[in-house]
Amino acid sequence: MKKIVIISYYFPPCAKAGAHRAYAMAEYLPKFGWEPIFIAPKNGYYGRAVRVDVELLSVIDKFLVYRAPFFYPFNNRDSNLLARIARRFWETLVFPDGKIFWNVHVKKLGTRAVIQHKPSIFFITGTPFSTFLLAPYIKKLFQLPVILDYRDPWTGFYRSYFPIKTKVNLKIERRCIEAANLVTTASFHMIEFIKRYLGPSAIGKRFFGFPYGYNGEFFRRKILPIGSENSDEKATATFAGFIHGDVDSRSILRGIRMAIEQDPEVEKKLRINCYGTLFGHSKNSMTLIEKYCLQKHIRLFPFLPYNEFLITLRKSTFLILPLGRSPLPMVLYPTKLFDYLGVKRPILYIGGNGQVAETIKACNAGICVKPEPTDIAIAIIEFVKRGHAKCFYTNNNAYEQLDRINIYEAFSKELENLI
């Protein structure tokens, strides 16, 4: 079996989106003849609110993991004012980002991995993008192909408050990408976005659209056999997680209010369960709901463990995905979209055109509307009237292209081409 070294700062048991890239690599690459070897932090800092899922380790533990020591000020997730200020200054003053010193130990472990295991390829996933600085080093020292994996664009999105830092980081990014043999991106639209802001440095580079996708086998076996709990007397909409982009929760609430006032069936049937922050921060969520007289229709719940969350989605009539009109949903996929697609429930997408809207339309996975109250109201009325009619997810080809087994089969062919 051929070997690939994967350098990933976000790593299980951390359950943030970036860690799922490494998890999926461990689960799928061996199916196509590749054995992953991981380099990850020994004590990574993942923010003050750490999401942990020990179940992710069940797959990762089957493979070799080198743990590199990591230096970061107040790495104990201290939330006092001094700690927050220190971390902010650190990220501002250090180029290209505050996690750069992790690379010192990664270089040592990368050398050990090459000597002991003779890998064929290095795969470096960002953020943090300081790890991309390893690409020229690896290419020169080991004469091995290097893949740079953009889970987000770098200087195209992450602009510093100080213009000089943005300019320096752009130079660094161009030098890194010039050393790459392949550039992978977590969405398809991101490819052109990166090419546009990097300019000549990206011309002629090989790019591969590498979205997270959904675990089709898992959903077919564990989730899709579960039916909806909703009868003809109830239509349950579910939102879970955090809001992305520039969506205004008041516009959504006005749209819900309009749908209820315009259609008696909606007033009678609609129930919306929120597992997150859709209608404001925790201190004022109910105040905002009360302002629009929606206490009867909207219920707030704490976050759920992942498997319970998926079951809740599956039992819903439709799912709410608000992303707004910011540049983010134009080129990126939120990981939540693939959970929504996996459970095969119709999606009410509230946002602008772009990658997410295009995918939902291609899969016939729901209704896409602008973040305007009138449009939202019309869509809600449509979902309630359709109920559980099987009129969504009719384009099976577009849908199955986002199944991870198919994504990783295509990615494995790209790996073969590199060697």
Region for 33 from its dihedrals, namely left if φ exceeds 0, alpha if ψ lies in -120 to 50, beta otherwise: left
pLDDT digits (tens, 9 = 90+) for 19-78: 889 999 999 999 999 999 999 998 776 666 666 777 777 888 899 999 999 887 776 666
pLDDT digits (tens, 9 = 90+) for 86-100: 788 887 888 899 899
**107 in the same domain as 229:** no
What angle, 0 to 180 degrees and rounded to 10, lies between the N-to-C axes of helices 102-117 and 134-142? 30
**270 in the same domain as 164:** no
Q: Residue 124 in contact with residue 148, Cβ under 8 Å? A: yes
**333 in the same domain as 246:** yes
Measure CA 176 to chain center: 23
**196 in the same domain as 331:** no
Tokens 């689960």 sit at which residue?
27
Q: Quick one: what percent of the chain has pLDDT higher than 90?
A: 65
Q: Residue 37 in contact with residue 50, Cβ under 8 Å? A: no
Measure CA 279 to chain center: 21
Neighbours of 123 (CB within 10 A): 26
Least confident of 14-28, 149-163, 339-353: 149-163
CA-to-CA distance for 224 and 218, rounded, in angstroms? 9
The residue-averaged pLDDT of 278-294 equals: 73
**148: helix, coil or strand?**
strand
The residue-averaged pLDDT of 357-373 equals: 96
**207 in the same domain as 238:** no
Sign of CA dihedral 280, 284, 286, 288: negative
CATH of the domain at 382: 3.40.50.2000
Number of domains the chain contains: 2
Structural domain boundaries, residue 24: 2-213+403-418
**104 in the same domain as 22:** yes
**142 in the same domain as 222:** no
pLDDT digits (tens, 9 = 90+) for 228-265: 665 567 899 998 876 666 778 889 999 999 999 999 99
> Does residue 302 have a cis bond before it (omega within 30 degrees)?
no
**410 in the same domain as 378:** no
Q: Could you tell me the CA-to-CA distances from 207 to 185, 191, 193, 204, 400 in Å, in that order?
A: 8, 7, 12, 9, 21
pLDDT given at position 300:
87
Neighbours of 171 (CB within 10 A): 12
CA-to-CA distance for 229 and 212, rounded, in angstroms? 29
**357 in the same domain as 412:** no
